[in-house]
Amino acid sequence: MPTPNASSRPRRVNRLGLTPSDYKGKPSTLCKGCGHDAISSQLIRALFESDVRPHQVAKLSGIGCSSKTPAYFLNHSHGFNAVHGRMPSVATGAVLANRQLVAIGVSGDGDTASIGIGQFVHLVRRNLPLIYIVENNGVYGLTKGQFSATADEDAALRSGEVNKLPSIDLCGMAIELGATYVARSFAGDPKQLVALLRGALAHNGTAVLDILSPCVTFNNHAGSTKSYTWGKDNEEPIHIVDFVPAMDEIEVEYEEGTDQEVQLHDGSWVRLRKLEREYDPTDRRAARELLLEADDNNLLPDRAALSRHQQAHLPRQP
Ligand SMILES: Cc1ncc(C[n+]2csc(CCOP(=O)(O)OP(=O)(O)O)c2C)c(N)n1
Ligand code: SF4
Ligand SMILES: [Mg+2]
């Protein structure tokens, strides 16, 4: 059987008719393998899958490698790169000035837990509608890898220097401050990350996402507690996270003996036929004839299309 080539494959579009490429940004200038780039990729996916209108998004950040990342997703949106640790004030102004904005703040552990801690605290306390992403690598990546305030006690730098200060747990702090959506994830867990980002996009209030995001240049070695290996070895999911968007129930009303086409939430169509009142449900032969007639009239689902749909949507068998 001939396999469809790339050009004959249908373009993947969301409910706005946009493709994943419409959610991309400029090429990244970060180190190859940096956790921050993995987070940007999952943001692109989550925004596409949640049908977010790019022009309604405001991307806000401070200073750091993490704070550079808004340039690497959503080319067609608004953006403001604030002073180090001051993203929350700029975000507060933006969401108060325009209530329609989808505000996404991207920060680092230095930007949030060190210089910006006061701003973070007040933003969370106010529960402003903003997705607050902390790309947490335990170091100041941009200024060559000094410990930040989220570095774990006894974690070591590559140079051998050991952190003797207790770390600040941003999730614990956000919960203490009354935050309404708090999650911790890992840049190396795309499935969990997309679900959490989609949940954050649907949330009304501050959504704090503390994401372990390894710095491959300064903090990805054996003594680090923010490396890819550490993340993989110590990830203990509390839940299997998934996101199911809230949709209105679809209702139809039509006459007996007639057809009705109904559009589903994913944009696809289904044709319904209501049988006539005189139809006898105990007559096996009549039932088979009805199905054959429907098949002759191309009213049954196209088997090839159904099989393609199942392959694309059903979970793989173990
Ligand atoms: C007021 C001010 N103080 C210090 C700096 C220097 N500086 C730039 S980025 C940075 C830390 C960035 O660390 P983090 O927020 O964790 O981001 P990362 O680079 O690790 O992603 C520092 C201290 C600055 N730009 N401005
Ligand atoms: S220095 Fe670290 S945080 Fe910065 S881009 Fe490189 S790997 Fe990423
Ligand atoms: Mg950092």
Query: Cα(141) to centroid of ligand 3, in Å?
Result: 5
pLDDT reading at 224 higher than 50: yes
Percent of the chain whose pLDDT exceeds 70: 92
What kind of fold does domain 9-234 have according to CATH? Rossmann fold (3.40.50)
Mean pLDDT lowest for which of 1-5, 120-124, 214-218, 240-244?
Answer: 1-5
pTM: 0.84
pLDDT reading at 294 higher than 90: no
Read off the pLDDT of each residue in 132-154 and give the average, rounded to a whole number: 97
Instruction: Give the residue, 246 or 57, on which the prediction is more confident.
Output: 57
pLDDT value, residue 318:
42
pLDDT value, residue 162:
96
Strands 259-263 and 269-273: antiparallel
Residue 216 in contact with ligand 2 by CB distance below 6 A: yes
Average pLDDT, the chain: 91
Query: Cα(113) to centroid of ligand 1, in Å?
Result: 11
pLDDT reading at 47 higher than 80: yes
178 — pLDDT class (breaks 50, 70, 90): very high
Ligand 1 atom showing the smallest separation from residue 84 Cα: 26
pLDDT value, residue 1:
44
pLDDT value, residue 119:
98
120 — pLDDT class (breaks 50, 70, 90): very high
Question: 67-76 pLDDT, tens per residue?
Answer: 999 999 999 9
207's tokens: 């959504």
- List ligand 1's pocket residues with C-beta within 6 A: 63-66, 84, 108-111, 115, 135, 137, 139-143, 148
pLDDT value, residue 311:
62
Read off the pLDDT of each residue in 259-284 and give the average, rounded to a whole number: 88
Q: Is residue 40 within 8 Å of 221, Cβ to Cβ?
A: no
Strands (DSSP E) found in the chain: 57-61, 78-81, 102-108, 130-136, 139-140, 146-147, 181-186, 206-212, 259-263, 269-273
Residues paired with residue 78 on neighbouring β-strands, in sequence order: 58
Domain boundaries, the chain: 9-234, 259-312
Question: What is the C-alpha to C-alpha distance for residues 137 and 211, in angstroms, rounded to an integer?
Answer: 8
pLDDT value, residue 193:
97
pLDDT value, residue 298:
82
307 — pLDDT class (breaks 50, 70, 90): low
pLDDT value, residue 317:
47
Residue 34 in contact with ligand 2 by CB distance below 6 A: yes
Helices marked H in 203-249 — which ranges?
228-234
Look at residues 206, 55, 218 and name the one whose alpha carbon lies nearest to residue 126.
206
